[in-house]
Amino acid sequence: MSNLKWISRYTGRIKGILTYTIILLMIEKAAELSLTGLQKFIIDDVFINGDFNLLPYLLIGLAFIAVFYNILHLYAAKVRIKGQQKLHTIMLNTIMRKLHHSNVHTFHQYGTGKYVQNLTNDVNQISSSFASAFPMGIMDLFGALVISIIIGFNNLPILIGIMVISTFYIVLGKYYGPKLKMEQRESANMKSDLIVFMEEGISSSREVIAFNRESYEKKEYNQAFQNYFKQIMKENRLLNKQMLSAEPLKWAVNLLVLGYGGYCVMQNTLSIGTFVVIYQFSSQLLVSYQRVFNFLINMSRSFAFVDRFRDVMNIEDEKDGMQKLDGSISTIEMNKIQFKYDANERTILNKLNIDIPIGKKVAFVGESGSGKSTVSQLLTRFYEPTDGEIMINQQPLSNISRDSWQKKVSIVFQEPYLFPDTIINNLLMGRAIPKDKVIDLCKKMQIHDFILTLPKGYNTNVGERGIKLSGGQKQRLALVRALLADSEILILDEATSALDMKTEHLVQKNIDTLRKGKTTIIIAHRLSTIRNADIIFVIDKGKIAESGTHSELLKTNGKYRELSIS
């Protein structure tokens, strides 16, 4: 599908305001042209033919049109910007929706910086091109048409001459348009790479300092910036070349009108008034042609941004099911689950079969890299199994709507994300929960006393990604946040790993009490936290090596025993 047809699904949604803008701009153009056109009557009828009675009417007409033109100019600009903002909002909402529904794997591969670039620069460029530059281009095209008719009607040879010279604009446009589009796309890609580089540099600043990589990072950044700078210079050189090659055309038109138009005046085939108006119109015609030419070039440049926007919109959406989950969860089975993070990468889970008991404390243990977190990522549907099926209440999880599944499951990660907001807002996450309940849970998660030591207590801002908090404090806040949801299934993926043994023990004991009768899945390295689990699954190389209670597994002398000794 062509880019123009593709983008019309968005521009089509503002067609009302777009049409209105175009009509306003065309009336504005007509008013502007009549200001020049009226001069013919002042020169020919008033000054040359001596009909001075006409002068006051012509001057009042001129003043009226001038005021009308100015008011319309301001109003049309306001409507045009409104249309641009509307398109901007539509596209921004679309890309945000895409962001939230993108396949996690592709999303991670694409990179945050590129998304930021799409959200800011590309959407801006597209909305300004299609909702603002496009109606302006139509206005210029309309102006060029009207002027051409007026000149052609009064002196056809001059119009033909201007048209011939102007065809060079089209030739130039055809020559430079595709080249500029290519350079523009390259510049946009390099700019987003640079933003990605800067974003990664900021996120990794601690590692950069710790590993003394500052000069290396600086060198890499300088190199990336130099490349971007060279590319921008290349693009500008091309732009200047195109502008310079258009300049002699202006002079050719001026000379044509002055020479041939002057000759016609001397031959009495053209009145002085018409000559003056044609001279002014010929410059305006050329400006209109130039604007139309620039408009076409800019539109072709905008298609480079459409290309990039289209790339994002083409990212595969997460698969979603249609079925709602009514009632409580009674069974969770993982049947012959096969999983690879990428088609070309190695198998992580290999024909994994698990029957997760409902209402129990379930633990996953195993060596680092054995696939424990991957199991939780599949249960939360961050990823879909490559093969096999997760069955919930005897129906495939893939058939269940994400929305209804997410209401049933909560997860706490080892490194939880906290928003740069207050503690209370990070805990509530927009939910209406009584403060007493929040405080009670904070006490049970051993974080309330710490919060009270902060200058603004629960209203203290935690900073970017919770930078003002320790790893253990962040983990305890994330536990409160998840426990407030009181989900049927709670997954704790190394969620207490940063706590000291004593605090971890207290936190775990309270979680056990709070979650009594509910399914809690714990992934842990410290076996002390899961010793009392109803069932422990030992994962080894993507398979269940053994399962049972702590005492049962110790007796088997297998993997679990190995793990508990090491």
Ligand X SMILES: Nc1ncnc2c1ncn2[C@@H]1O[C@H](COP(=O)(O)OP(=O)(O)OP(=O)(O)O)[C@@H](O)[C@H]1O
Kindly list the residues in this chain that would bind ligand X in the complex (CB under 6 A): 341, 348, 366, 368-374
Write down the least CB distance from residue 97 to ligand X, Å. 23
Closer residue to ligand X, CB minimum distance, 294 or 508: 508
Q: Where are the beta strands (DSSP E) in 172-227?
A: none
Closer residue to ligand X, CB minimum distance, 348 or 480: 348
Closer residue to ligand X, CB minimum distance, 359 or 558: 558
Closer residue to ligand X, CB minimum distance, 179 or 541: 541
Write down the least CB distance from residue 20 to ligand X, Å. 49
Q: State how far the Cα of 405 lies from the Cα of 392, in Å rounded to an integer.
A: 10
Write down the least CB distance from residue 200 to ligand X, Å. 17
For 92, 231, 301, the CA distances from 193, given in Å and listed in that order, are 21, 13, 19
DSSP string, 99-129: HHHB-HHHHHHH-HHHHHHIIIIIHHHHHHI
Closer residue to ligand X, CB minimum distance, 242 or 374: 374
DSSP string, 362-384: EEEEESTTSSHHHHHHHHTTSS-
Q: State how far the Cα of 67 lies from the Cα of 63, in Å rounded to an integer.
A: 6
Write down the least CB distance from residue 377 to ligand X, Å. 7
Write down the least CB distance from residue 228 to ligand X, Å. 29
In b/e form, how buried is each residue of 242-266, taking b as 16+ CB within 10 angstroms? beeebeebbeebeebbeeebeebee
Task: Write the Ramachandran bin of 394: left for phi over 0, alpha for psi from -120 to 50, otherwise beta.
Answer: left
Write down the least CB distance from residue 366 to ligand X, Å. 6
Closer residue to ligand X, CB minimum distance, 61 or 471: 471
Write down the least CB distance from residue 406 to ligand X, Å. 20
Write down the least CB distance from residue 490 to ligand X, Å. 17
Are residues 22 and 139 in contact, defined by beta-carbon separation less than 8 angstroms?
yes
Dihedral angle sign, alpha carbons of residues 204, 210, 216, 221: positive
Are residues 389 and 398 in contact, defined by beta-carbon separation less than 8 angstroms?
yes
Closer residue to ligand X, CB minimum distance, 286 or 354: 354
Q: Return the residue matching tokens 């902060």.
A: 454
Q: State how far the Cα of 261 lies from the Cα of 241, in Å rounded to an integer.
A: 31
Closer residue to ligand X, CB minimum distance, 41 or 339: 339
Write down the least CB distance from residue 345 to ligand X, Å. 6
Write down the least CB distance from residue 382 to ligand X, Å. 9
Q: State how far the Cα of 299 lies from the Cα of 293, in Å rounded to an integer.
A: 10
Write down the least CB distance from residue 222 to ligand X, Å. 31
Closer residue to ligand X, CB minimum distance, 350 or 422: 350
Closer residue to ligand X, CB minimum distance, 286 or 490: 490
Q: State how far the Cα of 357 lies from the Cα of 410, in Å rounded to an integer.
A: 17
C-alpha closest to that of 339 among 325, 324, 356, 354: 354
Closer residue to ligand X, CB minimum distance, 369 or 420: 369
* Contact residues for 222 (Cβ-Cβ < 8 A; gap 6+): none
Task: Write the Ramachandran bin of 101: left for phi over 0, alpha for psi from -120 to 50, otherwise beta.
Answer: alpha
